[in-house]
Structures are given as C-alpha cells and as structure tokens.
Structure 1
C-alpha cells in the first residue's frame, strides 16, 4: 500500500489530472442505479494521496499554494459529474433539429461548472492539511461545506451528493433523519477516505477504529429504527399512482391530445384489484394533462364523471393566466391542480424552483441578445410560483406537492413539509430515457421521505413511479417504461424525526467539528519543531 500511495503522490502533469478524473468517475458507481458504495473506499484514498502530492516550491503565496489542490479537486469533480450526469444530454435530443447544438453544453458544460465545487472542497482541505487523520477530517470538512453550498448557490443543484453513496438501502438511510444531508456528506467522506491511512500508518488504528464505530452506529441505528414499531395516528390514505408512459414526441402534438387524455382516464378509472380499496387520491405525473383546462371545459366534465364521492385527482398540468390588461402577455406555470368529484379545480400549486435553461432563461435579456433560448423542447417560458402549500384532500389528510427536481433540495423540502401528512412528487423523467437519471431522481425522493418522516407518493410519466413509506421502504413501484398503475393504502404515523432546524444544526456541528480537528492538527504540525 505504501508503494502504491507513493507512486500516486509523485504523479505529475497529465497523469495526475487523469488519475483524479478516473477516481471521480469511478465514484459514480456508488450512486443509483449501481449502488456499489465500496468503490468510494478506492476513489477517496486516491484523492487523499493526490492531495498529499499537491505541493509547490517555497516561497509561495496562499493562492499559489492551494492551486494544485484546486486543480486535483476540479479534475476529480469533472470525472464524477461527467460520468454521473451525461444522461442530461437526452433532454436536448428530444427535439434534436432545434437543440442538438446544445448537447456539448449539457453533457460537458454542466459537469465542468459543478467541478468547481469539488475544486473548492479540495482547496479548503489543503489549507488545513496535515499528516495522518487530520487530513481526512480536512477533506470531510471541505466536501461537506462544498455539498452544502451546492444546495443553494447559483439556484442550487445538489444532485448526486456524496452522502447518497452511503445510503443505498433503507437500512442505511435512517441516519439522515438525525444529521441531515449536511452531516451525511461530511461523515461519508470521512469514512470513505480512511483507508488512505494504510499507507503512512500514522493514526492508523485510531482512524480504523473511528471508521468502524461510525459504520456500526450507522447500521445499528438503521436496524433499530426499521424494526421499531411506529405509533399509528389512526388515519390512512388509499392512493392510485398513474404511469402512462407517453412518448415525448407526442407530448405537445395537438392531433393526439384526446388519445393521451383518454389513456389517463382509462388507467385512472380501472377497477382496483380484488382486496384493494377504492382510491381516495389519484395522482397523475408532471404535465400529464395535454392541454389547458381553460380551453377544454369538457375535460373537467369528464373528470367529474370519473371521480366519485370522497375522491380527488391531483394532476400535473400547465396553468395559464391571461393578461389582466389589454395587450398584456399571458403567464404560464408548471403546476399541479386538484380536481374534485364535481369536476372543479379546487386548488393549484405552481412550481416554485424552476430549472434554469429548461423552464426559464436566467438573465433573459443578456442571453436573448446572444440568441440563446431554452435548451429543451417546450411550449413556452414559465414563471415561478410564489409559494408552496398543502392540498387538503377530502379525507382530511393534507398532501404537499413538489414538481420534478424540487424534491432534491433537502432543506427546502424539510421546511415545507412541517405541517403536512403526505409528500407528493410529480415528474416527467421521460426526457432522459432508461438512463441512470430516473433512478438517481427516485433515490433522492426516497431519501426525502426518511429525512422528513413523511410518506412519499410519486408519479412519473415513464417511471419510476411508486409509494414509499416514512422510513424509505418501497411499498410498491413501477419500473422504467412500464404502463400501468400502483394502488396502495398508506397508514399514517406520528412523526419521530427531529425538527428540520435540529437536523440542520446537527449537520453543521459535525461539519465544523471536522473543520476544528483539521485546523487544530494542521496548526499543531506547523508549530511542531522539525
């Protein structure tokens, strides 16, 4: 191990960059759908050894001293995000004639930019670098901080955070209910990087003991929590999740709108299997309604005939607001609408967090002058909603909707679900086909259920649709490209998870504990006589 570490430390030039790139790309195998988390016990020690060799000749200023570490982290991040997000390119190829030019920007440009976060993580870690376990703590602090920043800087995109690597199954998901994603990201890097100590042997026994203790606590807490009997609150909700698998080439084709709508009606109105309850809630995916309800009152009448007493439909639909003054433009929203048994729209919730360049153009005036439009095919530019609120179901249960990738933002979800019973996630992952993207998206939604202690109902046009209980166990689901419905009854339980601010504080305490350890050991090494 010492010989291997020495060879990696002494790498230079393009070999160093390539090794960092490959280590990052390898780490993607720890994410869904592969879930081979053991690769991180290779990728992160390699990263540590590369950072061990990230030195410059003295004297050098602070910026020059961290540039080699930043470069290593950037190449590691570029490999990680390129291998983990290449499937985004599928969205621009849905209408290839118009948007194929944007394929390099989607496939390479996004990973290139996200890599700066991991470059920042390694630069921060290198500032407090030391021998032994101190540098492992420094790396955990750097990555924990970078992943936290990734949740909100530049509109935020915390996709495939490192912490998800440590949570491939419900047994290993439960710790997130205590420390949140901030804590999970830092703890995961700390454990994954620990084998780097096998080379120099300094603090080896301490490091391996700490790693073993953290892993044992992680597994034991999951086992206890999954086997603990939750306290039921006496309520339940029967649901039907519809997965129509509509081809995107037909999505906005006016000639087939009626066929699409009747497909949705037929799936929604099919009798439940023997022994299954009549659904109180029917859930359709994002933008599953192929027209504006303002233009088709007959569609609402058809839904009124479909729904019986005590039933409600929540459907993803484009919502149009006509201009209030002569000559003013219409406004469009990506929404979910709630429709009752009378065929009336009784509530609507607009998507608050839109996808940059997919649903709107940031700095539209500037990019407009450059001739830049949306990167994906769609009928119009959208406006964000003002707020998210729960939808009251006829049963007295409240359901809080998150549209598409809104579900990947841990802190936003945790705050908003404080006063709701069910999380609803509607999406249309057909943009990405049968690639890792839909599996990664479903996994992050699954983690939100564990994190908040609230069951999740998810409808996706081509999958993965399903029902997840409050501890992350999949009650039932449909695979990618399946055509059908999921019927399930969800019992509700009293919440057992900490308040969102408690998890946030716990995560920050863990993060800054690693930072303090790294800073203390780094300072001690600098003050130690040679």
Structure 2
C-alpha cells in the first residue's frame, strides 16, 4: 500500500479527532437541514450525512459521552427542520423542544447500530448504514402515532426520475439510496485506490439504474392506452384565514363568506373559460364553520335536551351552497355526534371530518379523520389527566375515525384524507387497501384537505407538499390538495406538480382530470407498493432489531469492563 492510500485510510480518524463527535454531528445536521426547505439545496442531501458516517467508520468515538453529543446534534437538526411547530401558539415552543428531543434520539441510534454492524459484524458501511437508517425511519413512521415528515427522501420531491422507485419500495427506497450514495462517498474519502473505484462505480451504477427506471416508468405509463376516460373538473378553494384559537362568531362568518365567494368565482370562471361546468368544489379542513351535528344511529335525543335546529343548521347551509354553485361540494367540517349519557344527559363526540354533498343538497358520504395530531387535536394522556386540557388552548380532544371512505362523484371515486394523514405512508396505503379489499372499489383520486395557515407560510407548507408527492408515486394515483393558507396543488401519478397555488393568498385552482375506467370486474392495484406495502422498510427494521440484540448481548458480556470505553467503541 502506498503512502497516499495509507493517508487516505487514516483520514476519518484524523477528522474525528480534530472535529470531535459534537463537531461532526452538528456539521451533518446543518448540511442535512440545508437540503430541506426553505433553502432546498436538494443536491446536498447526497453528501450531507457524510460527517455522521465518518463517526460510524472511525474505530473509537472521540470525547466523553459521545452518544449524548450525537443526541444533541440530532436535536439541532430537528429544531431547524421543524421550527414551524412553534408558530401556532406560544405553548408550542415546548412541543417543539419535546419533538426535537424525541427525534434527536434517532441519530444516536443510527450511529450506534451502524457501528455494531460495521465493527463487530464486519458488514460494509455501504450496506449497514442505509439498512439502519431506513429501519429507523420505519420505526419513526409508526412510534407515538408516527411522524415521517423530514425524511431524507423528501429532499428529492422535485426530482421525478429519482423518486419513481417509490412505487416499488415506498419513499423508504429513496432514503436508502441517498444514504447508500453518502456511504460510498465516505468510503471513497477513506479507502485505497482500488476500493475507491469499487465504491464509486457502485454508487454510479445504482443511481443510474434508479434514473433509468424512473425514465422508463414514466414513459411506459404515458404510452399506456387509457380509454375509455371520464373527465372531471375540480375547483380547489384556498382561503387565507389566519388560524388562531379564538371562537369569534363574526370571524367564523367572514371565513364562510370568503370561501363562498371564491367558490362562486371558480364556477363562473370555469364557464367563461370553455363553457364547462365544475363537477366538484372542495374546501379545506374545517373551512365550513357551521358544526355538523348528528345523532348516534338509533339514538335520537329528546328535543328538551338538544334543540332540533342543531341537527339541521349545517345541512341547510350546505344545501343552499350546492344550489348556488350547481355542483357537488366536499368540505372540511367539525362534526359532533350526540349520544345518550348517564341519567338523562347527553354525551358528545367530536370529529375532524369531511362531508360530500351532491348538487341537490343530499349528504352522500362522511369521512372522519383517522390519524389525529398530538397537541393539535388531542393531548396525550389527557384521558387519564383531564387537567392537562386546562393548561392548553384545546377545549377537549377530538376522536379518531374508524375507517376510510370512498366518495363517488359521477363515475369518479375519491379517497379523502385530512391534514397530516399524508405524512404517514402506511396509513394512506392501508386506506387504499381497505377500499380495494373490503369495498371492492379503487380510488381514482386521493384528496387531502388541510389547514396549514397555522404555519404562516413557512417551510412547513413545502414539507407537507413533499409528502403528497410521494403518496402519488407510491399509489400511482393523482393527489389533490386544498389548503387554507396554501399550498394547494394537483400532483399527478408520476409525482409531477401540475398546478400549485401561491402561499397565503386567497385563490382557487381549476383542475381537469382524465380518469381511465378499468374494464375488469375487480379493481387492480396500481403499483407493487400499493399491493405489498412497506415490506422493504420492515425488513430493514428487523435488521435494526437484530443489531440491537447484538448490542445488548455485548453489553451484557462486557458489563464488567469500563462502561465509558464500551460506549465509545460502539
């Protein structure tokens, strides 16, 4: 081995000794953050994890308590990436610290488990690092209700050719690819000339294969015969009502007035453009400010307990809205279900819902949000400690819906979801599967109703949009987004953003969709991911569990040795 190779091989040790665990940890955090909105240097994501990977590769982690320093470094990334969590309410600064503190743990776990695989099991860095990262992302998407916003894959949401592999392995496959490339770069920095060639060619081959697959997939789908076709025009209505926690009747009416006027303008503009009528008008999450009261099935309450007008008010307004628009409407709405309580009292259950009403004013379907947001729609453990609600602006917790709903307008089937449900890939996939397997219907369009005005036009809007781009590719189904405060969008089944609103501006998008009609008697899954789910990420998660067992066994066997040295060795 020549002197150049020897110097290259010792480079990770020299870097870690000079920069320390904390220095390299924070360097990786800042570089990764720069790849996300608002900076959006997406190309940086392919090399940003290198400082963390150098810590995996070095023989001994420098300094005292290295994993505490890695936790702090991970926390720095999340404080930067999801800083907008603090914006809805002053108390959310505490929620931001709690969320960043929890998510920061994953960087420590990544380095620790990767070091077990690399140094003890002798698995190459380019294999163990992407497997561990992907497995931990899978855990993050499920643990504590799940939160996958800020996935490294999301940095590539504007690179359609790269993300087409999501129809095979979900967004996790794109994350795996990014870490694989970064691991190869790390090895190129650290290895001999022969190894540099191997890792460089491996990285180029996998990236090229991904791009070729993406190009060919888009070409194949574009050339497919799609007939007969049903055409539908949808008006996505975006108001810009700044969200707050006050219940002011005058403000509630002004919200309704804004959305009502925008809806009328959308219908008028459609007819003036080409004479076509709008088939469906969509309002965002909770934009319809008259609560929809409903009695529990088979338990109509006595009129002296709750006046009948409560149950008719919302329906009367919805009927008038559809009458003026001349088309069906899908609106986000607060829903209250009334049921008998104890000793001639009533119990009330609140839902964050969407309701579809046809052009004659008849309610066709109601979807209740299934995946609630902690600290936004409920307070964890508040069922045990109700006093927690007195410390927050929330008056009480919403309840989660039980099942997805297929909403049909004409011959087109919509599958609605609300707010952050698009952040959790397995939820959208499970909803799709339920409709296919239980109701024997395949959704033609996924539609997200959200209120992102809480975040004042920040980078949250872009990060939320990125989630919908991946859901469209994974399910090979167009996604429509209608968002109070933006960003409303039309994303096609390739992940292309066909139409996009401005942020914090009242407007509407007129979206024309040609929906192919399947002639088969039973619906067919549109992608491998749609039918098989997160098999790839789950396999990576199993590998993480195995590595954790190995680490626990080694700790048990070495517990008589110096615990500080054991932790530094990984």
Q: TM-score over 0.5 for the alignment? A: yes
Aligned positions of 1:201-212 closer than 5 A: 201-202=191-192, 203-212=195-204
Report the secondary structure of 1:212's partner residue.
helix
Q: Distance in 1 between matches of 2:243 and 2:489?
A: 21
Match of 1:302 among 309, 314, 320: 320
Deviations 1:353-383 (A, max 9, x none): 10112101221144435x45575x4564211
Matched, 1:29 2:34: yes
Which residue of structure 2 aligns with residue 337 of structure 1? Answer: 355
Deviations 1:289-322 (A, max 9, x none): 11214442541232132242xx311100000112
Q: Distance in 1 between matches of 2:142 and 2:543?
A: 22
User: Which structure 1 segments of 5+ residues have no match?
Assistant: 58-64, 93-99, 520-530
Matched, 1:230 2:248: no
Which residue of structure 1 aligns with residue 25 of structure 2? Answer: 20
Which residue of structure 1 aligns with residue 279 of structure 2? Answer: 280
Which residue of structure 1 aligns with residue 126 of structure 2? Answer: 136
Which residue of structure 1 aligns with residue 75 of structure 2? Answer: 78
Would the aligned equivalents of 2:447 and 2:481 in 1 still touch at CA under 8 Å? yes
Q: Distance in 2 between matches of 1:474 and 1:349?
A: 26
Matched, 1:126 2:115: yes
Matched, 1:267 2:262: yes
Would the aligned equivalents of 2:478 and 2:491 in 1 still touch at CA under 8 Å? yes
Q: Distance in 1 between matches of 2:110 and 2:331?
A: 41
Match of 1:48 among 43, 48, 53: 53
Which residue of structure 2 aligns with residue 396 of structure 1? Answer: 411
Report the secondary structure of 1:481's partner residue.
coil
Aligned-residue offset at 1:251: 7.0
Change (3 A) 1:124 1:201: same
Q: Distance in 1 between matches of 2:70 and 2:143?
A: 18
Which residue of structure 2 aligns with residue 254 of structure 1? Answer: 249
TM-score by length of 1: 0.86
Aligned-residue offset at 1:341: 1.6
Match of 1:110 among 99, 108, 116: 99
Aligned positions of 1:52-63 closer than 5 A: 52-53=57-58, 55=60
Report the secondary structure of 2:346's partner residue.
coil
TM-score by length of 2: 0.80
Q: What is the number of equivalent residue pairs in this alignment?
A: 496
Deviations 1:239-293 (A, max 9, x none): 1000011122497321233332122121112211512632111110000011214
Would the aligned equivalents of 1:410 and 1:448 in 2 still touch at CA under 8 Å? yes
Match of 1:200 among 190, 203, 210: 190
Aligned-residue offset at 1:91: 1.4
Would the aligned equivalents of 2:452 and 2:485 in 1 still touch at CA under 8 Å? yes
Would the aligned equivalents of 1:338 and 1:346 in 2 still touch at CA under 8 Å? yes
Change (3 A) 1:349 1:54: farther
Match of 1:245 among 227, 240, 243: 240
Change (3 A) 1:404 1:52: same
Deviations 1:15-69 (A, max 9, x none): 4214302311320222244432332344322111123346279xxxxxxx9x966
Report the secondary structure of 1:125's partner residue.
helix
Which residue of structure 1 aligns with residue 15 of structure 2? Answer: 8
Change (3 A) 1:205 1:130: farther
Runs of 4+ in 1 over 3 A off after TM superposition: 1-7, 32-35, 67-73, 130-133, 249-252, 365-369, 371-375, 377-380, 493-496, 506-517
